[in-house]
Amino acid sequence: MSPEALRGAIADAKRIVVKVGSSSISGANVGQIEPLVDALAAAHERGAEVVLVSSGAIASGMPYLRLDSRPTDLATQQAAAAVGQNLLIYRYQESLRRYAIVAGQVLLTAGDLENPTHRGNAQRAIERLLDLRILPIVNENDTVATHEIRFGDNDRLAALVSELIDADLLVLLSDVDALYTRPPQEPGARAIDFVAFDDDLAGVELGDIGAAGVGTGGAGTKIAAAKLAAASGTAVLLASTANVADALSGAETGTWFEPAPAAD
């Protein structure tokens, strides 16, 4: 299938996981929640099952703990997350109310997806929420996660959730509109619009994606997550949060990661 045909399949995707990072929906960018919800609601309206993997609990809680930057110690991260997770879900639900869509909160740790019983419970819960046309909002359970068992960033969590529910499409959103051959602010950087499944991207010079001091992900985590999801058969689109409506409608935006070929 050609890259153009693959992108055309976005509008036909039946099960979509969308991941958004802290820097895209907190602080000065909190206003991006409403257009993000607009795009999710449009996909929901056309019949797609949508799961949102959203970072932002710690970033949302930081102002209420009078913190100017992301805390480095685990206890303060947990405290900020405890305050911020409530605010984050409230903001999403208030915006979703315009479309009469109900959000369902799902908090996971890496251990949950490694434990067969917990993994099965998470899968059943998300599947049932989707059956009920409720929009699951997934985040790492920062209040109980430890440094040893954390996902480390929600890009990997989103890839694992995509695999868990056998999603057709994973959309990884960030502050940057595509994967570039080198950090986009550097001279000579070129956007990459298509990554074949067997492309190891050896010539790409990695830089960070996201605002420093708020998020934890970068270009490397996006690529690793995209490769992980693609290996399980899920197509992946890396795009900017500002372009989410175009991304979910199949417009030519972002970087498309080809999924593994279907087994014969």
The C-alpha torsion from 117 through 120 and 125 to 127, rounded to 10°, is 180
Is 175 marked as binding a ligand? yes
User: pTM value?
Assistant: 0.91
Phi, psi (degrees; rounded to nearest 5) at 50: -120, 135
Is 142 marked as a binding-site residue? yes
| pLDDT for position 200 | 81
Query: How far is the C-alpha of 127 from the C-alpha of 172, rounded, in Å?
Result: 21
Q: Tell me the pLDDT tens digit for each residue of 119-170.
A: 999 999 999 999 999 999 999 888 887 665 566 678 999 999 999 999 999 9
Give per-residue pLDDT as tens, 189-220.
Answer: 899 999 988 888 877 877 654 444 444 457 88
Q: Are 21 and 240 in contact (CB under 8 A)?
A: no
- Per-residue confidence (pLDDT) for residue 214, from 0 to 100: 47
Q: Helices in 10-115 by DSSP H: which ranges?
A: 22-25, 33-45, 57-61, 74-96, 110-114
Q: Is 154 annotated as a binding residue?
A: yes
- The Cα–Cα gap between 134 and 223 comes to 29
Each residue of 57-113: pLDDT tens digit? 999 999 999 999 888 888 898 999 999 999 999 999 999 999 999 999 999 987 888
Segment 210-248, tens digit of pLDDT: 444 444 457 888 899 999 999 999 999 999 999 999 999
* 54 has binding-site annotation: no
Instruction: Select 3-257's CATH number: 2.130.10.10, 3.90.1150.10, 3.40.190.170, 3.40.1160.10.
Output: 3.40.1160.10
